[in-house]
Amino acid sequence: MGIVLHEHMLMKKDYSSLPSLGIISYSDLYDIPEKKVWGDYWFKKNLVATFEELGYPVNNSSPKIKLHLFGEPAYQTSSDTYNILWLHSHPDWITPEILEKYQKIYCISTYFIKKISTMGFQAEYLMIPTHMKPLIRGKSHDIVFIGNTKKNTLRPVIRDLGYPPYRVTVWGWGWDGLIPAEWYGGMYYENSRLNELYACSKVVLNDHHDDMRREGFLNPRILDVLASGGFVISDSVLGMDELLDHSVVTYETPEDLQRAIRYYMQEDKEREMLAKRGQEIAVRFAYPRACKKIIQHIESIFDRVSS
């Protein structure tokens, strides 16, 4: 009988001879709210941990290579480093002037890669991975949402939710006074326990910025929920149905959302069937696989960076 090695069990390789890597995210630029409530803070943290587990040198003080997790264009590139862009949000902010500062571009949207091409640049598809592990839990939560407000205004999915006859719990920054007090779970939910929350919730809500919906930028929260074994209702995103095989229920109007919630709160078997289908897809987007792809690129340009 053969032995199957999971990605996290693979032998560490010696990459010490390769140029050190620094990682920059937009949460690095802000102190308010605290960094742990930003999704990209955990994106960066998980990347650093995975690169180090694989044996690749990560050094933010004096790196030869810089990986910019694009949420904002404020980061200034340097001609002394090899600059890699990983575009995961705010596509409307992207311009040719920004793209020309990078020697390698990754993007989570295959559709926006075509727009990047029309700007005169090449980009490679690389989805934000998920570090969530599948769990089986009883359903102790009805409807949950985790996310910060946008300039202290209601997020679209919470606005469209109305006041359903179910228990709703919201975690995130800026919600105080915007939602019923009994809905508010707190500013922060422990990241290491998110998969437990997702797995024990009947419905996890999600939404996107308008430009992300239009340009095919999937909120990585969806992959986290699905990988954990949870069920998602979200606004629609270009290409999501094809990527996730229709495992995420989508809505267009408040009436659609409210109707979907009433239906799936009662249909346990159908809800679990969709969650299982989505989980089988989501777990393929693993951090080791994404990091190895970036390392392979760095190996391919090693001589250029080292000279």
pLDDT at 30: 63
The structural architecture, per CATH, of the domain 7-129+286-306 is 3-Layer(aba) Sandwich (3.40)
Tokens encoding 76: 């200034």
Residue range 162-213, pLDDT digits in tens: 999 999 999 999 998 999 999 999 998 999 999 999 999 999 999 999 999 9
* Residue 185 CB contacts under 8 Å (≥ 6 apart), including other chains: 144, 169, 170, 171
Is 58 within 8 Å of 23 (Cβ atoms)?
Answer: yes
Kindly report, residue by residue over 138-148, the tens digit of the pLDDT.
999 999 999 99
CATH 3.40.50.2000 residue window(s) in the chain: 141-282
Q: Which two tokens stand for residue 116?
A: 């990047």
Q: Residue 172 is encoded by which pair of tokens?
A: 């995130």
**pLDDT value of position 152:** 81
Contact yes or no for 218/243 (Cβ under 8 A): yes
**Phi, psi of 286, deg, nearest 5:** -100, 150
More confident residue, 26 or 67: 67
In which band, very low, low, confident or very high, does the pLDDT at 11 lie, cut at 50, 70 and 90? low
CATH homologous superfamily of 141-282 equals Glycogen Phosphorylase B; (3.40.50.2000)
The span from the first CA to the last CA of the chain, in angstroms, equals 47
Rounded Cα gap, residues 229 and 218, in angstroms? 18
Sorted by sequence, the CB contacts under 8 Å of residue 273 that are 6+ apart come out as none
Please, which pLDDT band fits residue 305 given cuts at 50, 70 and 90? low
C-alpha span between 145 and 161 (Å, rounded): 11
Judge whether 203 and 230 are in contact, CB under 8 Å: no
Torsion (CA) 186, 221, 247, 267 in degrees, nearest 10 = -10
Q: What is the per-residue pLDDT for 57?
A: 87
Say if residue 8's pLDDT is above 50: no
pTM for the structure as a whole: 0.91
CB-based contact 226:279 (threshold 8 Å): yes
What is the residue whose two structure tokens read 């308010």? 32
> Could you give the dihedral angle defined by the CA atoms of residues 19, 72, 224 and 55, in that order, rounded to the nearest 10 degrees?
10
